[in-house]
């Protein structure tokens, strides 16, 4: 018998990995995201029957089968790729560790070490998640919040400033554990609840999240169709 997934018929858009913001032809600003968490979510969504588009910053991962992967490098490219696809998405999950600032200037030639201090001007990148959440007809929008302190409170603050439906709070104080590793300890934060999940493999976090989103959407559909 064919497995009918809980996300059958739905389109899911996922961002994953870091972004790289070039300073010169050989140097960039970036972070340690490996892409594993985002790829695991994309795979779980496909297994649950969704059509999945994955907008991925640079990673060493093999593009998963059955997923439309669009590789990007910078935050601006990631935003453009998301804007191209988001109108057909029912669910948006922002797992990417977007580099918050980009260099104001790109130096065409390798920057020389002529001085003992080098000052860089950095410009704030646009917030892709907030952009999606603030659309007129947003998809169901889930963000991730990587925090090194006050994990739950900081994640709750991000939920409200960014305006997404849910946020997954992620304790990355043990940097070598979460970023690049295979396990994750997260908390699911909604407007009214905060739920602690046990330490799970990133694959299991992906599967659990896919199922929770599906359950929530079917509950919402169920309640909105009451009496109709
Ligand atoms: O890739 P791995 O090695 O598997 O590691 C996974 C992870 C730790 C990177 C991932 O689980 C995670 O927590 N991702 C979000 C990391 C992050 O940078 O969070 P943030 O607090 O800066 O941003 C909060 C949310 O806003 C995120 O959903 C982020 O994608 C989004 N954002 C942030 C800045 C920006 N300019 N645009 C965004 O869309």
* Binding site membership of 49 for ligand 1 (Cβ less than 6 Å): no
Could you give the CA distance from residue 228 to residue 185 in angstroms, rounded to a whole number? 41
pLDDT by residue (tens digit) across 137-157?
999 999 999 998 999 999 999
The tens digit of pLDDT for each residue in 106-123 reads 999 999 999 999 999 999
Pocket residue to mutate for ligand 1, from 144, 157, 176, most atoms within 8 A of Cβ: 144
How far apart are the CA of 47 and the centre of ligand 1, in A?
23
pLDDT, averaged across the chain: 93
Residues recognised as catalytic:
31
Average pLDDT over residues 85-95: 98
Selected residue with higher pLDDT from 174 and 2: 174
Predicted confidence (pLDDT) per residue in 181-218, tens digit = 899 999 999 999 999 999 999 999 999 999 999 999 98
Closest of 93, 54, 98 to residue 76, by C-alpha: 98
For residue range 93-102, list pLDDT tens digits in order: 999 999 999 9
Kindly state if the Cβ of 185 falls inside 6 Å of ligand 1. Answer: no
Mean pLDDT of all residues in 86-98: 98
**With 50 as the cut, is the pLDDT of residue 227 above it?**
no
Any atom of ligand 1 within 6 Å of the Cβ of 34: yes
C-alpha 74 to ligand 1 mean position (Å): 14
């Amino acid at each position: 018998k064919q497995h009918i997934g809980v996300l059958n018929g739905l389109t899911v858009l996922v961002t994953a990995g870091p972004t790289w913001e070039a300073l010169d032809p050989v140097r960039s600003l970036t972070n340690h995201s490996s892409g594993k968490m985002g790829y695991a979510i994309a795979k779980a969504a496909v297994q649950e029957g969704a059509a999945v588009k994955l907008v991925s910053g640079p990673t060493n991962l093999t593009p998963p089968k059955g997923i439309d992967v669009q590789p990007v490098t910078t935050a601006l490219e990631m935003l453009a790729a998301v804007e191209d696809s988001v109108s057909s998405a029912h669910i948006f999950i922002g797992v990417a560790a977007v580099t918050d600032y980009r260099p104001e200037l790109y130096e065409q030639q390798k920057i020389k070490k002529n001085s003992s201090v080098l000052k860089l001007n950095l410009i704030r990148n646009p917030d892709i998640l907030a952009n999606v959440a603030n659309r007129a007809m947003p998809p169901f929008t889930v963000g991730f919040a990587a925090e090194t302190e006050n994990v739950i409170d900081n994640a709750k603050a991000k939920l409200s400033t960014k305006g997404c439906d849910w946020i997954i709070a992620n304790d990355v104080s043990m940097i070598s554990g979460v970023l690049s590793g295979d396990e994750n300890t997260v908390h699911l934060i909604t407007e009214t609840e905060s739920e602690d999940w046990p330490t799970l493999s990133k694959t299991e976090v992906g599967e659990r999240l896919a199922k929770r989103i599906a359950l929530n959407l079917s509950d919402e559909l169920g309640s909105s169709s009451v009496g109709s």
